Structure 1
Amino acid sequence: MAVFSSTDSYIVSDELALAVNACVTLQKPLLLKGEPGTGKTRLAEELASALGAPLLQWQIKSTTKAQQGLYEYDAVSRLRDSQLGSDKVHDIANYIRPGKLWQAFTSDTRPVLLIDEIDKADIEFPNDLLHELDQMAFHVYETGEQIKAMQRPIVIITSNNEKELPDAFLRRCFFHYIRFPDEAMLRDIVNVHFPAIQSRLLTTALEVFFDVRETPNLKKKPSTSELLDWLKLLLAEDMSAEQLRDSQQKGGLMPMFGALLKHEQDIEMVEKLAFMSRRQGR
């Protein structure tokens, strides 16, 4: 049964909606890959909102260890309390800090668990979570407890493809690659955020945006979120379609280019190509 689709505030492709619903049906983690800024994190937020479910977000960093998602034992606090003569030290459970997986497993309501940017961690991180994500259970060695999911959480895992993930991990996931939206879908996304935008301005802005994305050898192509930032600035400056087109035809950089281009070499590349186009009389 379908549980998720586009909403008034968030547009998804039919393929992505099917992937989300398949993940819910199969009770398998959904692994999302795609360019940064394509809405992978936002999807988990919108899914939780659509289901009326709590959202637990585990933001992965280069120093994150899998154990932190289960629990952490605060030995430092226990030592300090021991030195102070606190009665708390007699119960080691007082020093066990549940992680996001523990919280998800013991939630009264089936939650959405977001494991965000899993590829930032070291290569062993996904493998260290294989058993827990497969069995939805783990052992707390310090207390002897067995923590088992009362109901399987909906797990969304995002990756920016910075590292390859192990095959054994991939086998346990339902995979979806978020392709970059085409012009029609981008129009729908923009109209959700800026319903009053003039059609001519949007048409011209999208032409400029796709021209930039198609520039060869860009270090970083502008994303959907950067397009929205750029349009917000154009609207704040009351930029017209004619002004935007004039700036393009004069062979310079587009207004507010810092919202789209984030590397010096990309700025130089776009500026050079714009200058060459102007000299060729295009």
Structure 2
Amino acid sequence: MSFQGTENYIATRALQVAVNAAVTLQKPLLIKGEPGTGKTLLAYEVAAALGKSLFTWNVKSTTTAQQGLYEYDAVARLRDSQLGDGNINDIEHYIKKGKLWEAFDSEEQVVLLIDEIDKADIEFPNDLLNELDKMEFYCYELKRTIKAKHRPIIIITSNNEKELPDAFLRRCFFHYISFPDRETMKQIVDVHYPDLEEKLITNSMSIFYGIRDIKALKKKPSTSELIDWIKLLLVGKVSADLLEDFQRNTEIPPFIGALLKNEQDSGLYEALRNKTKRPY
């Protein structure tokens, strides 16, 4: 089996190659790219395309590597011992399996998504080196080694908020999802809105890429935000001709808040529109 994208996910040839290479090499696939370029969604679509279950580990700033393995609730065991609960001798009763353990325990190969790994502490990736290499870890409370029954397909996403350690990078296959060009973006829009008028797609994308071309923007609008904006245009019954009129004059296109997410960018765009007035 190989990944070639799905009906709901347009994967470039380079991305298809990256996914299949990582699967072949049995290495984690490290995916970087702008927010909104489909990094997280990729894991869902890979799982769907290959017919495998998906385990998702959402990383936060407070997440530790240990939580992905397991957590031992010593407080609950102490409380039960004071109350005379009969389960205190069953240590496994007080162990909560993490996503890595669950993926290792699966009877079939699964896809494991470690989402936004760069949100955690800098030592987080280093703390997973042995587990990702050997596909096993030791549970001290149970005095046994937990080994993967089937090596999971691991997809790791990063928004590049901080540099990842070299030792961790060496163990991954890396791919950067470049922002879609107009042709690829049109294919993505067609997936979400297959019956959309061609002229509306052209005009909305023209405005969208025009905004992205503004160099001083603090946050450039993403693919997902374009999809949201088009939905609002349809709900608001904004025609392709009306969008064309907005391109010609100084008025701000409707629902621009779907694309520009802070006052600095909104003010900059409005100032540029006023400065570059076009005649009818």
Normalising by the smaller structure, the TM-score range is: over 0.9
* Residue aligned with 1:125, SS: coil
Residue of structure 2 in register with 1:52 after alignment: 51
How far residue 11 of structure 1 moved from its aligned partner, in angstroms, is 0.6
CA distance in 1, matches of 2:21, 2:263: 42
Count of aligned pairs: 280
How far residue 110 of structure 1 moved from its aligned partner, in angstroms, is 0.3
AA partner of residue 15 (structure 2): L
Residue of structure 2 in register with 1:273 after alignment: 272
* Residue aligned with 1:88, SS: coil
CA distance in 2, matches of 1:180, 1:200: 22
* Residue aligned with 2:101, SS: helix
AA partner of residue 267 (structure 1): S
How far residue 165 of structure 1 moved from its aligned partner, in angstroms, is 0.2
The question of 1:111 aligning with 2:94 is answered: no
* Residue aligned with 1:157, SS: strand
CA distance in 2, matches of 1:156, 1:7: 17
AA partner of residue 179 (structure 1): S
Gaps of 5+ in 1: none
Mapping of residues 230-249 of structure 1, within 5 Å: 230-249=229-248
Residue of structure 1 in register with 2:13 after alignment: 14
How far residue 248 of structure 1 moved from its aligned partner, in angstroms, is 2.6
CA distance in 1, matches of 2:114, 2:5: 22
Q: CA RMSD in A?
A: 1.0
Deviations 1:194-252 (A, max 9, x none): 00100001000010000000112111000000000000111111211111121232212
CA distance in 2, matches of 1:82, 1:245: 73
The question of 1:184 aligning with 2:183 is answered: yes
CA distance in 2, matches of 1:9, 1:245: 29
How far residue 86 of structure 1 moved from its aligned partner, in angstroms, is 0.4
Residue of structure 2 in register with 1:174 after alignment: 173
AA partner of residue 87 (structure 2): K
Gaps of 5+ in 2: none
The question of 1:41 aligning with 2:40 is answered: yes
How far residue 141 of structure 1 moved from its aligned partner, in angstroms, is 0.6
AA partner of residue 231 (structure 1): I
Q: Is the 8 A contact 2:5 2:45 kept in 1?
A: no
CA distance in 1, matches of 2:184, 2:29: 22
TM-score of the pair, normalised by structure 1 = 0.97
Mapping of residues 1-282 of structure 1, within 5 Å: 3-278=2-277, 281=279
Deviation >3 Å, runs of 4+: none
AA partner of residue 56 (structure 2): Q
* Residue aligned with 2:243, SS: helix
How far residue 48 of structure 1 moved from its aligned partner, in angstroms, is 0.6
CA distance in 2, matches of 1:177, 1:234: 31
Q: Is the 8 A contact 2:18 2:175 kept in 1?
A: yes
CA distance in 1, matches of 2:92, 2:202: 60
CA distance in 2, matches of 1:48, 1:249: 45
How far residue 281 of structure 1 moved from its aligned partner, in angstroms, is 4.7
CA distance in 1, matches of 2:210, 2:191: 23
How far residue 74 of structure 1 moved from its aligned partner, in angstroms, is 0.8
CA distance in 2, matches of 1:8, 1:91: 47
Q: Is the 8 A contact 2:225 2:259 kept in 1?
A: yes
CA distance in 2, matches of 1:252, 1:125: 48
CA distance in 1, matches of 2:258, 2:224: 10
CA distance in 2, matches of 1:3, 1:254: 42
How far residue 254 of structure 1 moved from its aligned partner, in angstroms, is 1.5
CA distance in 2, matches of 1:116, 1:156: 8
Percentage of matched positions with identical amino acids: 60
